[in-house]
Each structure stands twice: as C-alpha cells, then as structure tokens.
Chain A
C-alpha cells in the first residue's frame, strides 16, 4: 500500500517551464522550486507507526477493584517511528535546469523533475531554437552592455531611422546565414541542400558559435527599440553584445535594457509558471500539460541514439526528416516573419540526423 506522499512523488516526473524574474539567479529559482515540492511532500501524513508490546502498570480489569494496579501488556506505537524522531519523509527531489538564463535576463526556463531530467539532456542536445526579445536604448555605451553598467561613452542618435536600422539588421542576418550554411556542413550546390534550406531544416552540426536564424525589429521609438531574435547555441551576453554592435553599425552606441526569452523549443511563455504558481499542485498540472511534448522529445532523443549506433542510412534520414516535419507543423511560430530572408523561418524545431557530404 503506497502512502499519499509516495503517490504524490510519483506524479512529479517530467518537464515544465517557469518564468524566471529579472535579477534572480537561476539556481535560486531551482532551489525554491525544490523546497516547495519537498514542503508539499512532507506535509502528507506519515505512515502509521509500528506497534510494540509494552508492559505497563494499569489498573486491574473487571475481576479486581479499581485500586489494584497490575503489570499488563499492551500494544503501543513505538516512539522511534514518530515524525519528530525519524525526520521528514523526503529529503531530496531531483530538479534539473535546461538552457540556463543569467541573472540579468528573464523569461522561459525549462526545468525537469525526477525522470524528466533524462529528457532534459535530450532537449539540450536536440535542435531546438530559442526566441528572445531584446530591448535596446540608443545614446550610451557601458562596460557590460547593460543599462546598469558603468557608462563609457555617450553619443547622439538623431540620425537613426527605421530603414537604416532595418538595413543593418539585414546585413547581420546575411552574415549569420552564411555562418549557418558553413557550420551545417552542407554543400550548397546540391538539390537536397536546397530543399533543406527551403524548409528551414538547416542546423549547425557539432560545436558552433552563436548563430541567429532570425532577426527583426518589432518596435522602434528612438531612443528605445525592440528586436526579436531566434538563435541557436547562444549566451545572453552575446545577445547584449549584439545590441551594442547594432549601435556601432549605426554610427551611434546602444545598450541593452532587457533580454527576455519567450520560447525554448516547445515551451512557450503563455504556459510558463509565474512566481505565485511555484507550488506543487500547479507544477504537477504543468507537467501533465507538457507530457505530450516531453514524450516526443524523449522518443526523438532515443531514436537519435539508436540511429547513431547503427550507421545512419538514407532510410533513417528520411524517417527523422518526416518526424521533424510532423513536429514542425505543430510548433508554428508566434509571429509570422515579413522580412526578406533566404531561409524560411516558419519551422524552428529541427531534429535531423547527421548529414553526410554528397
């Protein structure tokens, strides 16, 4: 017979997303989630204590009068099983973090509980893209590229217009596309490569520097502007440096006043849990909500492992590509892209096996 605490613990297995507030280290987020889960588990009633036979001086039974005191046996719960002596039922819940977010950034942070930690590894290795919203401000440059850093220089920004900004962004995109093609190790002169590029399934193979697969400006109100970025293999510091470089290209300077991750693969910001909902009940609900996506990631991860073991054949490649198309159809991008780019950015989640050079 499983106790209530054990039944609750078995439900805590899977992935879910949390909205990390700005200024908080991701470790504090993970620790507070773990302590909330432990609190809920340890508040369940403990298992019944064992009974032991004890000889106690009790008043005599029906035979003698109440004045007689007789040593009689009785079953008494042992104090060794008392919760104050044994301690809490659960000491640790395994909570793991997916792609990390530094303290200055905010946004979707994927966490895995229990058996979900294994799936987290597959998620990190799989070809998911992450969406960011970057807020920038023209007019000054600081040492750590943020608006809270030490100001190094101040410049004017009256000459900056929207189409100049768009031109700079297009130039950056072009450079990133070249890098993407180079690191995906695909020969551009083949039909297969063209088809991959059209469907947006190009992905850097192995280790690569941060590559932006998508970049556009969604809000322009000098000195403030907002960029939307889809990227791969990035760090948040790289994105803040990107804002700084945009400023430099426009012959002014810019600092980043906010980095916000809006999507991490299938985990979107609408379903991320805010601070008030970091309780066991809401977390279990969120795990149930994401169970389908979790299962897909696990299957594709295991598939990749087994396919890597057998030398990848054309059949396997076909199968993976059909699988990715299925997943891509489900994960439609939040905002449709309107800018002129070579690669279609509609389908961000790409799970393709290693491609051989033809």
Chain B
C-alpha cells in the first residue's frame, strides 16, 4: 500500500495538531534551501589544508549528495540543519568565503540555533510537519488523523486493511465528521452492537463510502420482506458486505432461494438470517451443489429441504469435500440416506475426523449406526464430541489407545 502524496497533503491541510503545520510547498522550499547551501560548499573543499577534518567533512558531503530523496522527509532535514551549521562555523573561522554568493544565504548560514531571538520571531517560526508525504503503512498518520485514531479505538484492524490495495489511501482521505460518523450512527440505529463494529469495518471498509440513501433503501427493502429489525442487524453483522449489494441483487437471490428450495417464506427467512453469506456470493456454486445432492447423492426433495434448513452451509460447501464425506459415510460406513438426512451435521464435519473415529470403532467392534440395533451410536455424537469425551463415552477406550491407533492408519 502506498499512501499517495495528494492524500497526505489533504491530511496536512486540515487543522489537526496544535503545533502549526507547513504546506508541502514550503517543505520543498526549505529542502531546496539546504540543497543550495550544500552546493556552495563544494568549492571550499579544495581550499582547505587540514587533513583529517577535510576527509570527514568530504565524506559527509558525499553522503549527502548521494541521497537526494532524503530531503523528502522534513524531520531528517531539520536534524541535518544543526550539524551543517556547526561544520560551517568551524570552516568559516579558518577559510574566508569570499566568493560571490547571495547575501541571504550567508545570513541564514551564519545564524546559530543558540542565538536568542525575540518573541515575535519565535512565533513566526513555522515548524514543518513531521508527516511523510508517502508511506507504505498507516503508522505515521494514526496519531495525527482523527479518523484513523477513532477507528483504532473502535477496534478496526488497520494493519489488515492496509494490506489491501488502495484501502489505506481511502481511509486517510475520509473525514470523520462528514463521512464516518453518520454511517456509524446509522449502523448503531440498525441495532449492530458496538463491540462488533470493529470487526465489521475491518471486513468491509467500503461501507464508509457507500451513500447513506442506498444503505437506507436496502434496509427498508429487507424490512419490507418482513425481516425483523433484530434479524437485519444479525445479518449485517454476519455478512459485512450485505448492504453494499443493490436491491435488485438481493431481491434476485431471495427469489431464487424461495423458488429452488421450495421452502415457505418463513423458513427462507430463517435460513437467510442464519447464513446471510448466501445473499452475497454467486449463485452458480449453489446451483451446482443442489444438483450434486439431488443427482449424485440421490436425496429426495423433502430430505433436501430438511438438510438445508438444518445445515445451510451445505449449499456453499466445497463440492469435492462434500462428495468425499458422503461417499465414505454411505459406502464405507453403510449409513442409509434417511439417517444422513436425519443428521445432516455430519456433512459439515472434517473428513479425517470421521474416518479415524469410524475405523477406531470398527477395530473395537462398536461401529453400530442402525437405531434399531443395540449399542447404537448416532452420527452427530460420532462427529461433534471432543476427543476425550468420545473415547470415554462412545468408544469406551483410553485416549492413548486412540492416538496409538491413529498412528497405525
């Protein structure tokens, strides 16, 4: 990320810090001044007869000449003024600068920083701002910018945001009272908790550039579809990009889900409230997943509805992983469709976990997944219990035995 010079100049032009600032033009003037002082000193080099001091001084000037971009940073320029002056004093006492140089430069060079000046002159001194005009991080600007410091206090992860291209420049350009505060108040009115605001803005900083009319239109659309105020707040918290999508797109998605899944309006609302990401992403992978469940797995319509209402994540799960899990459960564990539809959480679990636990139970002779048989183990217990509880209650073995068995697979 590269915070552009224009943004920084905007930042600098606002009355932010108590100590006065300097515009970037004056900044360059001052550095130009130092460059001029520098060039005049090239000629006296040849006239010096001292050995040691001349060497160190020449090294210093060579070093200065080699890095012209240093003059972009005014705080460094400030620091450099002091040693240059002391050097000049040492030299001017030995060598007389009798060249034709402008009198202004001489006067400026001869003034010592320890010289006492009057109050009026002191007030007129303009301290250049220490803000670099360009930076790849937001660190130099955080203390000086009201927007950025308020965002940090809210809990927004500025480091994450500055990794994304152009987001840093956008944040520096924002004005707190004009842009950020109205939107934060809008979100608060919506019902989003203050503790969740930081995370929301970290995921979606573009909510601060979306126009308030659009945001309000989308919220009123959702409310017209009979989403309660609380559910709208929950949806915005879970899917930060939700309010950046147009009303047509939201309408299209909601219509698709209601038609395709064949659910009632109430159930569709429930599914969408629990997984609002469905409204944000593309519909193609969801259509593919539905086709896979219907044709490849062979689930019937009502089983599909039950699965989707219990575990909506199946709609956006990875097709390959879903197929791998289903294949293992249905073909290796011999669990029929009806049982899987009854416990759809198992399709959401990690494949390795299911495999290791099933093989362990098979090794112990306890792999019984039919409800009618004795020692029945339900699929959700197989998958959701933590390891130690699983070993003690379901497998009736020690945890070390399970680990030793894992190393034989």
Contact = CB atoms under 8 A, between A and B. Distances in A.
A80 B155 contact: no
A328 interface: no
A274 B139 CA distance: 41
A41 to B, nearest CB: 16
Interface string B132-162: 0000001110110000110010011111100
Contacts, number: 53
A134 B189 CA distance: 65
Given A21-B352, A79-B142, A274 B159 contact: no
A84 B143 contact: no
A217 B155 CA distance: 62
Contacts of B387: 276
A275 B405 CA distance: 13
B157 A84 contact: yes
B117 interface: no
B143 A52 contact: yes
Given A23-B352, A84-B159, A87-B159, A106 B409 contact: yes
B403 interface: yes
A148 to B, nearest CB: 11
Contact of A80 (B143, B160, B403, B407): B143
Interface in B78-102: none
Contact of A84 (B140, B155, B409): B155
Contacts of A272: 407
A78 B130 CA distance: 15
A71 B409 CA distance: 71
A335 interface: no
A82 interface: yes
B140 A19 contact: no
A274 B407 contact: yes
A82 B352 contact: no
Contacts of A22: 409
B142 A85 contact: yes
Interface string A42-72: 0000000000100100000000000000010
Say whether chain A's binding surface is mostly helix, strand, loop, or mixed. Answer: mixed
Nearest to A76: B143
Interface in A262-284: 269, 272, 274-276
A85 B403 contact: no
B140 A80 contact: yes
A86 interface: yes
Nearest to A23: B352
B406 interface: yes
Contacts of B356: 21
A23 B354 CA distance: 13
A170 to B, nearest CB: 27
B371 to A, nearest CB: 30
A276 B155 CA distance: 32
Contact of A78 (B143, B406, B408, B409): B143
Interface string A276-317: 100000000000000000000000000000000000000000
A80 B406 contact: no
A276 B403 contact: yes
Contacts of B403: 274, 276
Nearest to B159: A87
Contacts of B407: 19, 269, 272, 274
28 contacts: A21-B356, A21-B406, A21-B409, A23-B351, A23-B352, A24-B352, A52-B143, A71-B18, A79-B148, A80-B139, A80-B143, A84-B155, A84-B157, A84-B158, A84-B159, A85-B138, A85-B139, A85-B142, A85-B158, A86-B139, A86-B159, A106-B409, A260-B408, A274-B403, A274-B406, A274-B407, A275-B406, A276-B387
Interface of A: 19, 21-24, 52, 55, 71, 78-80, 82, 84-88, 106, 260, 269, 272, 274-276
Given A79-B143, A80-B139, A85-B139, 19 more contacts: A21-B409, A23-B352, A71-B18, A78-B143, A79-B148, A80-B140, A80-B143, A82-B142, A82-B152, A84-B152, A84-B156, A84-B158, A85-B138, A85-B142, A87-B160, A88-B159, A272-B407, A274-B403, A275-B406
